[in-house]
Amino acid sequence: MLLYLRDDRFLSPAILLGVVVVLGIWMPSNFGYRVATLVWTSALACIGLNLLMGYAGQVSLGHAGFFGIGAYAVAVLPAKFSVNSWLSLIVGGIASGLLAYIVGTPILRLKGYYLAIVTLGLGILIAMVLNNEGWLTGGPDGIQVSRPTVFGWRVRGLEAWYWISGGVTVIGAWLAANVLASSTGRAMRALQDSETAAHVAGVNVAGVKLIAFVVSAVYASIAGSCFAFSAGLITPEKAGFLYSVELVTMVVIGGMGSILGSVVGAAVLTILPQLLASFQDYEQILLGLLMMVVMIFLRSGIVPSIASWVASWRR
Amino acid sequence: MAPVNLLEVEELAIGFGGVDAVDNVSFVIDRPQVFSIIGPNGAGKTTLFNVLSGLYRPSRGRVRLRGDDVTSLAPHRLAARGVSRTFQNLQNFSGMTVRENVMVGRHLLEQSGIVSQLLFLPSVSRENRATRAVADTILARVGLENYALRSANALPYGALKRLEIARALASEPILLLLDEPAAGCNAIETQELDQLVRSIADDGVGVILIEHDMKLVMKISDCVMVMDGGRTIASGSPQAVRRNPAVVAAYLGTHADHVGPNADG
């Protein structure tokens, strides 16, 4: 039954769309919109990363770097080179995809987790460039992002960015579900189970991993652009190693190989720190403990674990 | 046009740490047939399969498929040339349905690109339908049509063996390598397998069969090759091999008719 549901291309995007709409209408405060927008942007990056981690079986420890490229593209290109904001988003996405292609092509031919090491270095490198090239990026203090216009109307306000980032994330979930339902998605899931058998069955293993890596980089880049637009300010921190690890943690906690899991993981790791903020010094400890508890009791991640409970109750 | 041999293996060798697992093996399969390889465990049979399917690169020798040199091609490129195989230790995609397992075998015949897949254009939907239809036909052929939507990890052992064959058939191979398909199967399953393998060969696919079940081998093979210690010690028709003194001494023992090696792996 579970397998059958996973085949349904529309289930996850539809559930997500429902959540975005209901929250958007009933959101009690501006603060709520702000946090929810953060959740959607991280969720979008996680959906892409999950294609790589949960399906193609590779880990990227530098995805914040692609997030940073997308964010800085929409900050720097309009400000310094008078490029249209939406065009900048596309330029950022193409640049991230190209970079992933160039880095991934030699690395993904090798068996094993070499991609993790290489992306670790790549992410740190991108963050360093953003920090040090102050004339272009504003350095550690960050850079203002000018809000784009839609049909001559300048999009500002928390609510507007809630709807845009939420909408983009729903589209991202839909596109990912489409891929998973087609031959590339089947190949990804197959090589997760047995790389050898998939290879012999005719799957170009390196090629499929490369596709997953490039697509995931573009997702992170567009998520970064959305984040920068909604926040109005971007600092190199969001391109740094810690955020890369946070993205990986979101994917694992929410559930590898689950689109909704990526959203839940992003929500948990974005909202929990806000809830625990009143514990001040103990915030980090509590967060760490909670994550350990989740991984001990919901080993395959929140969404897949709950889904399998539901399935076993029905039986 | 001069007839081209289906498969030519020429002085093939591969070693691990100084030991040659396959040592100077040569054989020719001129046309589609059932070609069996027998021999005790460690004789190099599966290693030979791993070379023929591209998982290992040989240290010496050539492999020619329909006259083309395919030595050391990557597995997916060999699959595209028409080489397909099953595994002795099952290698099913346990997280996928039975039908999806077979659909993966069709991957190299699917054309749609990643952008049209992201948008799920009508062409992708058509391709999915076509692949599903072929997968269902093949599942019916191996007798698994009622399990199409089941998860692969819910199937019994014998069915998983047939699922591997179904997946291997999905790529429309010209050469099918079957690694101990009858191991662990009961008498009925073995008999069904016998008919299936025979029908595959009759359809014009070359089948190389590694098998310990001597009754099955002697019954369905057009040609048998005996390996021991990485070398070929005999080859020929089943009857000729059975009478070969070297084979009898090294492998089959005195009661060749009903005694196989009691090997299980």
* DSSP per-residue string spanning B20-49: EEEEEEEEEE-SS-EEEEE--TTSSHHHHH
Neighbours of A272 (CB within 10 A): 16
Residue at A134: amino acid letter = G
- Of the candidates B114, B118, B171, which has its C-beta nearest A202's C-beta? B171
- Asked if A9 and B120 come within 8 Å (Cβ–Cβ), the reply is yes
Lowest mean pLDDT among A69-83, A208-222, B1-15, B174-188: B1-15
- The answer to whether residues B107 and B129 belong to one domain is yes
What pLDDT, on the 0 to 100 scale, is given for residue B107? 95
Longest dimension (CA), chain A: 63
- The answer to whether residues B74 and B15 belong to one domain is yes
- The answer to whether residues B78 and B179 belong to one domain is yes
- The answer to whether residues B70 and B182 belong to one domain is yes
Alpha carbon A42 to its chain's center: 5
Contacts with B166 from chain A: Cβ below 8 Å? none
Residue at B75: amino acid letter = P
Q: Residue A30: CB partners within 8 Å, gap ≥ 6?
A: A158
Query: Could you tell me if residue B247 is inside a domain?
Result: yes
- The answer to whether residues B44 and B127 belong to one domain is no
- Asked if B167 and A201 come within 8 Å (Cβ–Cβ), the reply is yes
- The answer to whether residues B244 and B182 belong to one domain is yes
Interface probe with B: pick from A52, A183, A208, A312, most Cβ of B within 10 Å: A183
Query: Could you tell me if residue B137 is inside a domain?
Result: yes
What pLDDT, on the 0 to 100 scale, is given for residue A4? 42
Kind plus residue range of the DSSP H or E element containing A97: helix A85-107
Contacts with A193 from chain B: Cβ below 8 Å? 92-96
Distances (CA, A) of B221 to A204, B9, B49, B244: 33, 19, 18, 16
Residue among B210, B222, B182 nearest B32 (CA): B222
- The answer to whether residues B181 and B141 belong to one domain is no
- Asked if B112 and A182 come within 8 Å (Cβ–Cβ), the reply is yes
The alpha-carbon gap from B229 to the nearest alpha carbon of chain A, in Å, equals 25
Chain A CB within 8 Å of residue B90 CB? no
Q: Is it the case that residue A62 has pLDDT exceeding 90? A: yes
- The answer to whether residues B69 and B182 belong to one domain is yes
What pLDDT, on the 0 to 100 scale, is given for residue B257? 47
Query: Could you tell me if residue B202 is inside a domain?
Result: no
Contacts with A4 from chain B: Cβ below 8 Å? 97, 149
What pLDDT, on the 0 to 100 scale, is given for residue A291? 83
Chain A CB within 8 Å of residue B110 CB? yes
- The answer to whether residues B179 and B55 belong to one domain is yes
CB B247 within 8 A of CB B241: yes
Query: Could you tell me if residue B17 is inside a domain?
Result: yes
Contacts with B105 from chain A: Cβ below 8 Å? 201-202
Query: Could you tell me if residue B178 is inside a domain?
Result: yes
Lowest mean pLDDT among A78-82, A196-200, A288-292, B176-180: A288-292
Neighbours of B258 (CB within 10 A): 7
Q: What are phi and psi of B64, to 5 degrees?
A: -120, 130
Contacts with A185 from chain B: Cβ below 8 Å? 117
Looking at the structure of chain B, the number of domains it has is 2
Q: Residue A1's pLDDT band (boundaries 50, 70, 90)?
A: very low
- The answer to whether residues B132 and B240 belong to one domain is no
pLDDT digit string, tens, across residues A223-240: 999 999 999 999 999 999
pLDDT digit string, tens, across residues A170-206: 999 999 999 999 999 999 999 989 999 999 999 999 9
Residue at A159: amino acid letter = E
Q: What CA–CA distance (Å, rounded) separates B129 from A181?
A: 11
Q: Is it the case that residue A22 has pLDDT exceeding 60? A: yes
- The answer to whether residues B139 and B239 belong to one domain is no
Distances (CA, A) of A57 to A52, A111, A114, A116: 6, 11, 12, 11
The alpha-carbon gap from A8 to the nearest alpha carbon of chain B, in Å, equals 13
| Structural domain boundaries in chain A | 2-239
- Of the candidates B87, B103, B109, which has its C-beta nearest A186's C-beta? B103
Q: Provide the domain limits for residue B2.
A: 1-82+174-189+215-265
The alpha-carbon gap from B245 to the nearest alpha carbon of chain A, in Å, equals 37
pTM value surpassing 0.95: no
Interface probe with A: pick from B98, B117, B161, B179, most Cβ of A within 10 Å: B117
CB B78 within 8 A of CB B51: no
Q: What CA–CA distance (Å, rounded) separates B70 from B49?
A: 14
Q: What CA–CA distance (Å, rounded) separates B32 from B53?
A: 17
- The answer to whether residues B132 and B74 belong to one domain is no
The chain-wide mean pLDDT, for chain A, equals: 92
Report the CATH number that the domain containing residue B260 is assigned in CATH: 3.40.50.300
- Asked if A182 and B97 come within 8 Å (Cβ–Cβ), the reply is no
What pLDDT, on the 0 to 100 scale, is given for residue A3? 44
CA-nearest residue of chain A to B53? A200
Chain A CB within 8 Å of residue B149 CB? yes
Query: Could you tell me if residue B205 is inside a domain?
Result: no
The alpha-carbon gap from A158 to the nearest alpha carbon of chain B, in Å, equals 29
The alpha-carbon gap from A234 to the nearest alpha carbon of chain B, in Å, equals 29
What pLDDT, on the 0 to 100 scale, is given for residue A151? 74
Q: pLDDT in tens for each of the 265 residues of chain B?
A: 567 899 999 999 998 887 889 999 999 999 999 999 998 888 899 999 999 999 999 999 999 999 999 999 999 999 999 999 999 988 999 989 999 999 999 999 998 999 999 999 999 999 999 999 999 999 999 999 999 999 999 998 889 999 999 999 999 999 999 999 998 888 888 998 999 999 999 999 999 999 988 889 999 999 999 998 899 988 999 999 888 888 887 665 544 444 444 443 3
